[in-house]
Amino acid sequence: MIPADVRADHLRVPAPDGRQRWLHHVWLRDNCGCAQCRVPQSGERQLFTAAIPHDVAPSRAHLDETGALHVEWHDGHVSIWSPEWLDAHDYSAPVRAPLREMPRLWDASDHTEVIPRMPWQEVRHDPSAELAFLDGYAAAGAAVLTGVPSTDGTVAEVADRLGHVREVAFERVHNVRHDPTGYNVAHTTLDLKPHTDLPSYHWPPSTQLLHFLVNRAQGGESVLVDGWRVLAELRAKNAAAFDLLTSVELSWQLCSDAEDTFAVAPMVQLHPDGTVATFRFSNQLALPISADFDTVGAFYDVYRMLGRMVDDERYHATFRCEDGDLVMVHGHRVLHGRRSFVAGSGDRHLQDAYMEHDDLMARRRVLRGTHLPLPATPPTPAVSA
């Protein structure tokens, strides 16, 4: 038995690697794993964090012979944490585990190595293939399924098999083919610059599926751009310009006779650690900029610099999609576009649907079997010394 070194607001106990773990009393009390503090059937926190007294402190604390930490609190409550749980959650470790996964950025030079391409029949029926596909998609923000049956609405079945369709205005499944009366530029035969869809939502769909039922037209190659890759380069070149992309708010709109989606947001939104969370880029849906007079000129400079990069083949993954190919992209990261095609040269019909990136990552964690939290309390609590 090793007694803990109890200080005013934290305690110190040795870790197996010889250093000291420093853990706040309030953090320990908040993370008690006992059946009173957790909902036994779900493991959710039952203890109301705000009810923990400001001066919470142990009356006794020690490590037992297995390395489990035992704390008896002043009110008599007892908490026990297994050594495995302490290893997994110790925030006083010299290097804390990163909170989020780092993406693998790509451009024209390496996209074929990074973006996975797998047969749907394999992904659908073999859990290890499905996991490999999701791992590749998570890193690249893009992936291609081949051999998806060219039938109406199958794109939604794929979304519902891997996660859930995210419903938005307009149709659940969008048809994209040449239509002179269509509500946006996708329905023309024009070159479609790389863009993200529905920046006109405050939370744009975070995954997009584009299913080619048939592609017999001349031209119309697909173009993907790793937007986070482009932003990383722009940021390294000119940090002040990059900051304007995160601070100047734009308005975005996509509407039809019956629908109107509208949002106000900057092109780039960051996580608190400075990494990019969401990237909006849609030449066609940005409304007239309204910002401080002194900012507008500088904003246009960086906006055009960014646009030229997005349009630069150095960043393009360009490939032709065949009948039955389904392209999946992380909608807050990877831009999609197409080259113009020749009207009347052959059928070109694709259907797209949206889903949420989180649901794909959830599916991935379930396939890995890493989704269930480690219980805090050891299964058979060691006898307190």
Residues that bind Zn ion (CB under 5 A): 32, 34, 37
Query: CB of 224: closest distance to Zn ion in angstroms?
Result: 50
Query: CB of 350: closest distance to Fe ion in angstroms?
Result: 10
**DSSP secondary structure of 265-277:** EESEEE-TTS-EE
Structure tokens at 193: 């610059």
Query: CB of 186: closest distance to Fe ion in angstroms?
Result: 6
Torsions phi, psi of 136, nearest 5? -65, -40
Question: Pick from 279, 297, 281: which is nearest to 289 by CA?
Answer: 297
Q: If contact means CB under 5 to 8 A according to the sort of partner, which of Zn ion, Fe ion, none does residue 168 touch?
A: none
Query: CB of 180: closest distance to Fe ion in angstroms?
Result: 18
Query: CB of 336: closest distance to Fe ion in angstroms?
Result: 6
Query: CB of 223: closest distance to Fe ion in angstroms?
Result: 11
Question: Pick from 60, 58, 59, 35: which is nearest to 46 by CA?
Answer: 35
d(CA 189, CA 195): 16
What's the gap between Cα 128 and its chain centre? 21
H helix intervals, the chain: 25-30, 83-89, 111-114, 120-125, 127-140, 154-162, 227-237, 239-247, 293-310, 357-368
d(CA 242, CA 268): 9
Structure tokens at 336: 């999609």
289 burial type by CB count under 10 A (0-12 exposed, 13-18 middle, 19+ buried): middle
Q: If contact means CB under 5 to 8 A according to the sort of partner, which of Fe ion, Zn ion, none does residue 130 touch?
A: none
Query: CB of 358: closest distance to Zn ion in angstroms?
Result: 30
Contact 214/150 with Cβ under 8 angstroms? Answer: yes
Q: Which is nearer to Fe ion, 197 or 356 (CB)?
A: 197
HSE-CB for 323 with a 13 A CA cutoff: 9
Q: Which is nearer to Zn ion, 52 or 361 (CB)?
A: 52
Query: CB of 3: closest distance to Zn ion in angstroms?
Result: 21
Q: If contact means CB under 5 to 8 A according to the sort of partner, which of Zn ion, Fe ion, none does residue 145 touch?
A: none
Q: If contact means CB under 5 to 8 A according to the sort of partner, which of Zn ion, Fe ion, none does residue 192 touch?
A: none
Position 285 contacts Fe ion (CB under 5 A): no
Q: Which is nearer to Fe ion, 32 or 143 (CB)?
A: 143
DSSP state at residue 97: P
Q: Give the three-class secondary structure for 227.
A: helix
Q: Which is nearer to Fe ion, 197 or 325 (CB)?
A: 197
The residue count for the chain: 385
Q: Which is nearer to Fe ion, 121 or 188 (CB)?
A: 188
Do the strands 142-146 and 334-338 form a parallel or antiparallel pair, or are they unpaired?
Answer: unpaired
Q: Which is nearer to Fe ion, 116 or 204 (CB)?
A: 204
- The pattern of x and - marking residues 141 through 180 that bind Fe ion according to CB under 5 A reads ----------------------------------------
Q: If contact means CB under 5 to 8 A according to the sort of partner, which of Fe ion, Zn ion, none does residue 34 touch?
A: Zn ion
Q: Which is nearer to Zn ion, 37 or 115 (CB)?
A: 37
Q: Work out the number of other CB atoms within 10 angstroms of the CB of residue 45.
A: 14
Query: CB of 196: closest distance to Fe ion in angstroms?
Result: 8
Q: If contact means CB under 5 to 8 A according to the sort of partner, which of Zn ion, Fe ion, none does residue 37 touch?
A: Zn ion
Residue nearest to Fe ion (CB): 197
Q: Which is nearer to Fe ion, 22 or 170 (CB)?
A: 170
DSSP state at residue 312: -
d(CA 11, CA 29): 12
Which 183-212 residues touch Fe ion, going by CB under 5 A? Answer: 197
Q: If contact means CB under 5 to 8 A according to the sort of partner, which of Zn ion, Fe ion, none does residue 162 touch?
A: none
Question: Pick from 77, 73, 62, 86: which is nearest to 383 by CA?
Answer: 62
Which 210-239 residues touch Fe ion, going by CB under 5 A? Answer: none
Q: If contact means CB under 5 to 8 A according to the sort of partner, which of Zn ion, Fe ion, none does residue 197 touch?
A: Fe ion
Q: Which is nearer to Zn ion, 34 or 132 (CB)?
A: 34
**Residue numbers at the binding site for Fe ion (CB under 5 A):** 197
